[in-house]
Amino acid sequence: MGPDGEPLAQELYDDRSGRWSLRFRNGGGWREALVAQALHDPPYALGLGRDGKSVVVVSADEQERLSWQETRLEGPAGDPIQAHDDQSPIYDPVDGRLIGHSVLVGDERRYTFFDPTDTRVWKAVTAAYPSDRVELASWSKDRRKIVVLVDSPTEGPAYALVDLDKKKGRWIGAQYSGLTEGGIAPKQALRFKAADGLELTGYLTLPQGRAAKDLPLVVFPHGGPASRDTPGFDWWAQGMASRGYAVLQVNFRGSDGLGAELLEAGYGQWGRKMQTDLSDGVRHLASQGLIDPKRVCIVGSSYGGYAALAGATLDRGVYRCAASVAGVSDLKRQVSYSRSRGGHSALRYWTRFIGAEDLGDPVMTAYSPAQQAEKADIPILLIHGKDDTVVPLEQSRIMADALKKNGKPYELIIQLGADHWLSRGDTRLQTLEATVAFLEKHNPPN
């Protein structure tokens, strides 16, 4: 939509042929401005350009370098804008024009604004919170009042309203009530090498009041898998750390936002090196004397749930227990489900990461935890939302049935009215309480 609220452009993609096109409104019809052929990773329209008449198109060259190109009906509207993995646009709050962008570089979120005035304003805002991570939430029409999310390493995340005219800020409220200063476990950046030499990063949260030696550990892989863990407050990791556990979050190969090389290293590595990246992290911490390698469990959601199940069936001997929340257990069924909803492009996405040629590929069975349930040698907790439309409840039921058939210990919790993202507060609380109780039963922190 243009600044006037009228349709400006549309993009079309045929996931069978891979033909992508961008069309602009031209009188009473539409006219093509750009065309591309891409079965994988086609360009996509991000939003309005800086002038409000162009559209920003994101694409990658042969070296996988991203660029943002502002395009009009008659062609490019200027030089491409340099882009990075996981770069996010910032729009004018009134008319939707692109006015800047932000990106997480390492542990720091960096903001770029096209208007020098906006740049000066943002520097002044962040200078007011020198020890905290500050992110832009929203601002007023004249951009004189700004809402920011301030993430303090000792007090947690809270929203603040900065009034530039009054030259002061005031707290609006915390994201999580009840957090107290000093009650948050410290989180530190981590770097280590996988067994094949690949450099990996992540985060280690250490429990308060305990010496950093021979600690019980929870490996907590992120979802996606094309996502990443970030610095700052994580309610789930903090909940587990509050009970005495160290928590390891690894940006394993296949993670996004840390460069194309790391992302592509995950292609074809479900259940393989993406999995051993996690256990390599355990071995790294054990070599430092930080954790007790005999007291390690794995907890994860979505892809992280798959990793938890794979830890119990495919990468055995590392963990004492595994908890999967909305995890994938049967690759063939999940790929078929995704294809029914997302077409051929969804199939290509999945098979790229799983490393399968088609649904009949033996890989689908070899790396499906449900198909390898007889190998499970630790207790497994399964939690799944009944209304999950990303990874259907069927995935946890299949795993539960396979474990039951093979006489393996498991628990299954079905959350009524719950989606894939644990959107509701009561769902998150139930999930946290259930996982902590499971951990304390099978891997006591004391």
Q: What CATH code is carried by the domain that includes residue 235?
A: 3.40.50.1820
Domain annotation covers residue 349: no
Domain annotation covers residue 352: no
Domain annotation covers residue 168: no
Q: Are residues 425 and 293 in the same domain?
A: yes
Task: Give the model's pLDDT for residue 215.
Answer: 98
Tokens coding 49:
């350009």
| Domain limit, last residue, from 66, 83, 100 | 83
Q: Are residues 312 and 199 in the same domain?
A: yes
Task: Determine the angle formed by the axes of helices 273-287 and 303-313, rounding to 10 degrees.
Answer: 70
| Domain limit, last residue, from 83, 112, 141 | 83
Secondary structure (DSSP) of 52-103 = SSSEEEEEE-TT--EEEEEEETTEE-SSPEE--TT-EEEE-TTT--EEEEEE
| Domain limit, last residue, from 23, 55, 83 | 83
State how far the alpha carbon of 315 is from the alpha carbons of 277, 346, 400, in Å.
11, 27, 19
Domain annotation covers residue 345: no
- The DSSP code for 185 is P
Task: Give the model's pLDDT for residue 39.
Answer: 84
Domain annotation covers residue 418: yes
**CA 163 to centroid of chain Cα atoms:** 32
Q: Are residues 63 and 201 in the same domain?
A: no
Domain with 30 in it: 1-83
Task: Give the model's pLDDT for residue 323.
Answer: 98
State how far the alpha carbon of 207 is from the alpha carbons of 183, 191, 211, 272, in Å.
10, 19, 9, 30
Q: Which helix (H) or strand (E) holds 366?
A: helix 363-366
- Rounded Cα distance between 302 and 223, Å, is 5
Task: Give the model's pLDDT for residue 20.
Answer: 94
| pLDDT (tens place) for every residue of the chain, 446 residues total | 999 989 999 999 998 898 999 999 998 899 999 999 988 888 999 999 999 999 999 988 776 778 899 999 888 888 888 888 788 999 998 899 999 999 988 788 899 999 999 999 999 899 889 889 999 999 998 888 999 999 988 889 999 999 999 988 899 999 988 887 778 999 999 999 999 999 999 999 999 989 999 999 999 999 999 999 999 899 999 999 999 999 999 999 999 888 889 999 999 999 999 999 999 999 999 999 999 999 999 999 999 999 999 999 999 999 999 999 999 999 999 999 988 877 767 777 788 888 887 888 999 999 999 999 999 999 999 999 999 999 999 999 999 999 999 999 999 999 999 999 999 999 999 999 999 999 999 999 98
Task: Give the model's pLDDT for residue 235.
Answer: 94
Tokens coding 435:
């996982």
Q: Are residues 60 and 194 in the same domain?
A: no
Q: Check: CB of residue 278 under 8 Å from CB of residue 254.
A: no
Q: Check: CB of residue 255 under 8 Å from CB of residue 263.
A: yes
Domain annotation covers residue 124: no
Q: Are residues 70 and 194 in the same domain?
A: no
Domain annotation covers residue 235: yes
Task: Give the model's pLDDT for residue 317.
Answer: 96
Task: Give the model's pLDDT for residue 38.
Answer: 87
Total domains, the chain: 2
Q: What is the pTM of this model?
A: 0.90
Q: Are residues 403 and 254 in the same domain?
A: yes
Q: Check: CB of residue 410 under 8 Å from CB of residue 327.
A: no
Task: Give the model's pLDDT for residue 339.
Answer: 83
Q: Which helix (H) or strand (E) holds 148?
A: strand 145-152
Tokens coding 51:
């002038």
Q: Which of 311, 107, 301 is nearest to 190 (CA)?
A: 107
Q: Find where tokens 């592509």 sit.
A: 264
Domain annotation covers residue 280: yes
Query: Edge-to-edge strand order for the sheet containing 246-251?
Result: 187-193, 199-205, 246-251, 215-219, 291-301, 322-325, 380-385, 410-415
CA angle (205, 206, 207) in 5-degree steps: 125
